[in-house]
Amino acid sequence: MAESKRIIIVGIPGVGKTTVVSKVVELLKTKNIKVSVSIFGTVMFDEAKKRGVQNRDDLRKLSVKEQKELQSTAARAISSITDDVVIVDTHAFISTNEGFYPGLPHNVLEILNPDSFIMITARPEEIYNRRMTDTTRTRDIVSIDAIKKELDVTSAMLSTCSILCGSPIKMVLNTEGKVDEAARGIISAMGYNHGT
């Protein structure tokens, strides 16, 4: 049995990550490729609930030691999935009062052992407009300069992950109205011929 391909996909709010990942899953399924998506924060919260945490916002109130243990437990749960492709949907960083905390610390990377990293990106102006028009989410209002900083930090964090794992990183641009193109770019990076 071939091992699963583990693909970590990151993107800041407003790049259209959820939409692109959904399209990737849809295209892979048409090729009879068994694929699953694990949203890292959700898996982590599910593990935390077993320990009595009631609210996702309470995760941030746990000690760093407890958070690291939960991250490791969530990573082990994800690493046990045996589908052909396992997509890990996560964030490269979490913005805290202390600064940017890595969403993929070394202990998590060692457990997940990803085959590749994908950063979904978009033009800062598009991200800004998407955030301002998205009524389904509660988003912090930020400037285009702040969005550029978030993109830079994501790129730096993911580059470091790539170096630590010896796995490639690919930036995929999600231009407005071109979700299919972005999804095909990801599938190609996975080593699958995207076809038509």
> Global pTM?
0.90
Share of the chain above pLDDT 90, in %: 71
Q: In the chain, where are the structural domains located? A: 5-189
Q: Which contacts (CB < 8 Å, 24+ apart) does range 68-74 have?
A: 68/105, 68/107, 70/44, 71/44, 71/105, 71/107, 71/108, 72/107, 72/108, 72/111, 73/44, 73/47, 74/40, 74/43, 74/44, 74/46, 74/47, 74/108
Question: May I ask the CATH class of domain 5-189?
Answer: alpha beta
Tens digits of residue pLDDT in 73-116: 999 999 999 999 999 999 999 877 778 888 999 999 999 999 99
Tell me the pLDDT band of 196, cut-offs 50, 70 and 90: very low
Tens digits of residue pLDDT in 170-190: 999 999 999 999 999 999 999
Share of the chain above pLDDT 70, in %: 94
Q: Which residues are annotated as a binding site for ATP?
A: 11-19
Q: Which residues are annotated as a binding site?
A: 11-19
